[in-house]
Chains A and B, each alone.
Chain A
Amino acid sequence: DGGITQSPKYLFRKEGQNVTLSCEQNLNHDAMYWYRQDPGQGLRLIYYSQIVNDFQKGDIAEGYSVSREKKESFPLTVTSAQKNPTAFYLCASSISVAAGANVLTFGAGSRLTVL
């Protein structure tokens, strides 16, 4: 089945540690995205990538980093500089960024808790 796989589903981190969330897609989509979801705030865009080896900051990129070395993979690192990292993180993909009508396909999410 085609889709997006996020791992781990649950992650606990001590303050000051970096953690990396995995996102893999087998949909052959060019564009990939990372969103953060907090209760009552909807989804906020962290980073997105339109093509391999290229990515752009979203609305809340501070304290996060990404890479796009392969078309199917778009890992997100939550660094110690992120002041409030406890949240639900969603990875998504679409055929492209440029085509406005494209629908996003989402992974099941990763819940990060800072202890």
Chain B
Amino acid sequence: AQSVAQPEDQVNVAEGNPLTVKCTYSVSGNPYLFWYVQYPNRGLQFLLKYITGDNLVKGSYGFEAEFNKSQTSFHLKKPSALVSDSALYFCAVRDLENNRLAFGKGNQVVVIP
């Protein structure tokens, strides 16, 4: 079965510094990978996805993610964090063999002014 690991519960970063949120995945076939963001008491919003092609994917709000097949990782990055980036970030993977979508447990990002 497909699964996602987000190893850190919380990521603290100073405003203006680079932000990285880690994600590793496990699937039996080729993966579709997604990042979503959730602000307090709200639903999830789509940030970006990897389907195929270029390993570096650019998404909303200046975020990007790099697909690394050998390390089975899909880390989310932003060159310069904003206080407004403080939120809960979810990585998700869809296994194309069974078409099921699995979410990670989420990473709380705190950007310190």
A residues sitting closer than 8 Å to B (CB atoms) are: 4, 6, 35, 40-43, 45, 90, 92, 97-98, 100-101, 103-109, 111
Contacts and interface: CB of A to CB of B under 8 A. Distances in A.
21 contacts: A4-B43, A6-B43, A40-B9, A40-B106, A41-B105, A42-B90, A42-B103, A42-B106, A43-B44, A45-B101, A90-B43, A100-B96, A100-B99, A101-B49, A101-B94, A103-B34, A104-B44, A106-B36, A106-B43, A109-B42, A111-B41
A98 B44 contact: no
Contact of A90 (B9, B32, B44, B96): B44
B103 A97 contact: no
Contacts of A109: 41-43
Nearest to B44: A106
A101 B36 CA distance: 14
Given A90-B44, A98-B99, A109-B41, 7 more contacts: A42-B103, A45-B100, A100-B96, A101-B51, A104-B101, A108-B41, A109-B42
B45 to A, nearest CB: 7
Contacts of B94: 100-101
B96 to A, nearest CB: 5
B32 A100 contact: yes
